Protein backbone atom coordinates (compact mmCIF):
# COMPACT_ATOMS: atom_id res chain seq x y z
CA UNK A 1 0.00 0.00 0.00
CA UNK A 2 1.45 3.33 -1.06
CA UNK A 3 -0.53 6.20 0.41
CA UNK A 4 -0.78 9.37 -1.61
CA UNK A 5 -2.33 12.70 -0.87
CA UNK A 6 -5.73 12.88 -2.54
CA UNK A 7 -7.00 15.76 -4.58
CA UNK A 8 -10.28 17.28 -3.51
CA UNK A 9 -12.01 15.67 -6.52
CA UNK A 10 -11.14 12.20 -5.28
CA UNK A 11 -12.94 10.30 -2.58
CA UNK A 12 -11.03 8.33 0.02
CA UNK A 13 -11.86 5.08 1.74
CA UNK A 14 -13.20 5.96 5.19
CA UNK A 15 -11.41 2.90 6.61
CA UNK A 16 -7.87 2.98 5.16
CA UNK A 17 -7.78 6.51 3.77
CA UNK A 18 -6.52 5.51 0.33
CA UNK A 19 -7.93 7.53 -2.54
CA UNK A 20 -10.05 6.33 -5.43
CA UNK A 21 -7.00 6.92 -7.64
CA UNK A 22 -5.02 4.11 -5.99
CA UNK A 23 -7.64 1.46 -5.23
CA UNK A 24 -9.57 -0.69 -7.67
CA UNK A 25 -13.02 0.37 -6.52
CA UNK A 26 -14.71 2.45 -3.82
CA UNK A 27 -18.31 1.92 -2.70
CA UNK A 28 -20.24 4.84 -1.23
CA UNK A 29 -22.44 4.33 1.80
CA UNK A 30 -24.27 6.70 4.12
CA UNK A 31 -21.52 9.19 5.04
CA UNK A 32 -18.75 6.65 4.38
CA UNK A 33 -16.76 5.10 1.56
CA UNK A 34 -15.05 1.72 1.55
CA UNK A 35 -12.52 0.35 -0.92
CA UNK A 36 -12.45 -3.16 -2.37
CA UNK A 37 -9.44 -4.11 -0.21
CA UNK A 38 -11.17 -3.04 3.01
CA UNK A 39 -14.34 -4.91 1.98
CA UNK A 40 -12.21 -8.04 1.50
CA UNK A 41 -10.47 -7.52 4.83
CA UNK A 42 -13.78 -6.95 6.60
CA UNK A 43 -15.14 -10.18 5.09
CA UNK A 44 -12.06 -12.01 6.42
CA UNK A 45 -12.48 -10.45 9.87
CA UNK A 46 -16.16 -11.40 10.01
CA UNK A 47 -15.46 -14.95 8.85
CA UNK A 48 -12.37 -15.45 11.03
CA UNK A 49 -11.96 -12.80 13.74
CA UNK A 50 -8.37 -12.26 14.90
CA UNK A 51 -7.57 -13.35 18.48
CA UNK A 52 -6.84 -9.77 19.51
CA UNK A 53 -8.93 -6.84 18.29
CA UNK A 54 -7.06 -4.69 15.80
CA UNK A 55 -4.34 -7.22 14.94
CA UNK A 56 -4.84 -7.17 11.17
CA UNK A 57 -6.36 -3.77 10.67
CA UNK A 58 -4.55 -1.43 8.24
CA UNK A 59 -6.42 1.54 9.70
CA UNK A 60 -4.66 1.31 13.08
CA UNK A 61 -3.31 4.65 14.24
CA UNK A 62 -0.51 3.43 16.50
CA UNK A 63 2.10 3.40 13.76
CA UNK A 64 5.19 5.52 13.06
CA UNK A 65 5.12 9.31 12.83
CA UNK A 66 5.84 9.56 9.09
CA UNK A 67 2.94 7.22 8.30
CA UNK A 68 0.59 9.10 10.59
CA UNK A 69 1.59 12.49 9.13
CA UNK A 70 1.17 11.10 5.61
CA UNK A 71 -2.33 9.88 6.52
CA UNK A 72 -3.54 13.16 8.02
CA UNK A 73 -4.67 14.84 4.75
CA UNK A 74 -6.53 11.70 3.74
CA UNK A 75 -8.21 11.48 7.14
CA UNK A 76 -9.23 15.14 6.83
CA UNK A 77 -10.72 14.46 3.41
CA UNK A 78 -12.63 11.47 4.81
CA UNK A 79 -13.97 13.69 7.60
CA UNK A 80 -15.00 16.36 5.09
CA UNK A 81 -16.74 13.73 2.95
CA UNK A 82 -18.79 12.67 5.97
CA UNK A 83 -19.60 16.30 6.80
CA UNK A 84 -20.73 16.94 3.20
CA UNK A 85 -22.91 13.86 3.33
CA UNK A 86 -24.51 14.99 6.60
CA UNK A 87 -25.20 18.40 5.09
CA UNK A 88 -26.96 16.75 2.12
CA UNK A 89 -29.14 14.70 4.51
CA UNK A 90 -30.01 17.82 6.48
CA UNK A 91 -30.86 19.54 3.20
CA UNK A 92 -33.13 16.65 2.28
CA UNK A 93 -34.81 16.80 5.71
CA UNK A 94 -35.49 20.48 5.13
CA UNK A 95 -36.87 19.78 1.63
CA UNK A 96 -39.22 17.26 3.24
CA UNK A 97 -40.48 19.93 5.63
CA UNK A 98 -38.36 19.48 8.75
CA UNK A 99 -38.05 22.55 10.93
CA UNK A 100 -34.67 23.68 12.21
CA UNK A 101 -35.90 22.63 15.68
CA UNK A 102 -36.52 19.10 14.40
CA UNK A 103 -33.12 18.98 12.70
CA UNK A 104 -31.44 20.26 15.86
CA UNK A 105 -33.27 17.72 18.04
CA UNK A 106 -32.30 14.89 15.69
CA UNK A 107 -28.66 15.95 15.89
CA UNK A 108 -28.70 16.49 19.65
CA UNK A 109 -28.25 20.22 19.37
CA UNK A 110 -30.35 23.36 19.36
CA UNK A 111 -32.43 24.81 16.54
CA UNK A 112 -30.04 27.76 16.44
CA UNK A 113 -26.92 25.57 16.23
CA UNK A 114 -28.44 23.47 13.46
CA UNK A 115 -29.40 26.57 11.51
CA UNK A 116 -25.96 28.16 11.96
CA UNK A 117 -24.18 25.01 10.80
CA UNK A 118 -26.38 23.97 7.89
CA UNK A 119 -28.50 26.87 6.61
CA UNK A 120 -25.77 28.57 4.62
CA UNK A 121 -27.08 31.88 5.93
CA UNK A 122 -25.29 34.25 8.26
Where does this chain bind Zn ion (CB under 5 A)? 13, 15-16, 35, 38
Compare residues 15 and 118 and give the one whose CB is closer to Zn ion: 15
Nearest one of 34, 117, 44, 122 to 83, comparing CA atoms: 117
| Number of neighbours of residue 58 by Cβ within 10 angstroms | 14
Residue 23, C-beta contacts closer than 8 angstroms, at least 6 positions apart: 13, 35, 36, 37
For 10-76, strand residue ranges (E) read 26-29, 32-35
Nearest one of 48, 75, 47, 73 to 60, comparing CA atoms: 75
Amino acid sequence: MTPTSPTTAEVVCSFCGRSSAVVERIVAGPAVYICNDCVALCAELVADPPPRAGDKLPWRVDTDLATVLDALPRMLLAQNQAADHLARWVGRARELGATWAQVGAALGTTRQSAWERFSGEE
